[in-house]
Amino acid sequence: MRLFTKDRVILSAVGLALLLGAALGVPLGLRLSGAVRPFAGDEPGPVREERLTGDEEAVVRAVERVGPSVVKISVTQRGYIDGLFGRVPSEQTGLGSGVIIDRSGLVLTNHHVVEGAEEIVVGLPDGRVFEGRLVGTYPAADLAVLRIDGDDLPVAELAPGEPLRVGQLVIAIGNPFGLDYSATTGIISALGRELAVDAGLVLTNLIQTDAAINPGNSGGPLLDREGRVIGINTAILRGRQDLPAQGLGFAIPIADALEVAGELLRHGRAVRLGVLAGTLTPEIARAIEAATGVSPGTDRGVFVRAVSPGSPAEEAGLVPADIIVEAAGRRISSVEELARVVRERGPGARLPLVVLRKGERLPLVARL
């Protein structure tokens, strides 16, 4: 889970889960010889559906429908620490969540859940435990794909083309603080959010929800009332010490997640341009002109905030404050449009760009 303080992020699916798990006395690892508690509990009691409201019945059905495909991911990191007698080996474990998206054993989760992991163990609610193999990871979208080998694997239904609306009921499932297979409910609070995180990374086109998302939920699914996966839970916003925030969770839309997963499966990596950028709006354009005294020359496009060293963007000549207005001959008015064009071109492709630099049009070409 990503925890935000101001505009900083603490990746806590590994480290924080370990500390909190130890404090709360909950198990943090999975053993290959062990068992995982069933999703509904060891001895579920009878449910009297006649006492449930329509929304409650929808939640129960959705959880029962997708629950078997929500997995618990235990990771092990090994390294060294400086001790009294020199460097000594150390081992850390942590938890995250994931969801099975294909009968071949593909599991979708977050990059920060498996980052640096030397061992990945995937547990199913039915008690089966598998070794997880990393297919690929894409830090820029905080997504990763794992593969497990098993028979009759439960698969979640995905809804990549389902239109989403602010206010609709959603359900988050995962393993918060090591508490196996927990479900929370809420609504979609907003769509199309951008969120700046560590290392100059901006996650875009996020679903904002007030469904409770906690450390350990990372990589778990966000569902609609039909039990279909509409997003992958990735982050929460904590606010500041003097201004705490509640009910600010974020998920990656499943359509975006599947596009990245497809690239990882086809190429072993996801293509990137290598810019930290945001969508330029008329309001932001006016603010830029007021701050610099220079008109940006447009009020629509992608405003480049930073360029990653050694990236295709740097090699193409992009610099901070450039505004990308065209890519591959198409008008670009948002970060999401630019990312879509980059993914469509694929690794190794030429990407013609048109940027505005201090109001002047400049053609560039990036090699992805």
* 334 belongs to the catalytic site: no
Question: Which residues touch 14 (CB under 8 Å, ≥6 apart)?
Answer: 75, 77, 92, 93, 94, 95, 96, 112, 113, 115, 116, 117
Q: Exactly one of 142, 180, 224, 322 is catalytic; which is it?
A: 142
Tell me whether residue 263 is exposed, middle or buried, using C-beta atoms within 10 angstroms of its C-beta: 0 to 12, 13 to 18, 19 or more: buried
CA angle 32, 37, 41 (to 5 degrees): 175
CA–CA separation, 368 vs 356, rounded Å? 21
> How many residues belong to the chain?
368
Q: Are 97 and 219 in contact (CB under 8 A)?
A: yes
Radius of gyration, alpha carbons of the chain:
22
* 218 belongs to the catalytic site: yes
* 82 belongs to the catalytic site: no
Which tokens sit at 356? 């505005």
Q: Exactly one of 69, 218, 333, 334 is catalytic; which is it?
A: 218
**First-to-final CA distance of the chain:** 30
Strand partners, 350: 367
Q: Are 343 and 337 in contact (CB under 8 A)?
A: no
Neighbours of 196 (CB within 10 A): 16
CA–CA separation, 134 vs 136, rounded Å? 6
Q: Exactly one of 69, 74, 112, 322 is catalytic; which is it?
A: 112
HSE-up (13 A, CA, CB side) for residue 45: 1
Residue 232's closest CA among 66, 118, 23, 120? 66
Which tokens sit at 241? 């010490």
CA–CA separation, 180 vs 28, rounded Å? 10
CA angle 169, 170, 176 (to 5 degrees): 145
Q: Are 308 and 200 in contact (CB under 8 A)?
A: yes
Strand partners, 326: 331, 354
CA–CA separation, 74 vs 90, rounded Å? 17
Q: Any idea which residues carry the catalytic annotation?
A: 112, 142, 218
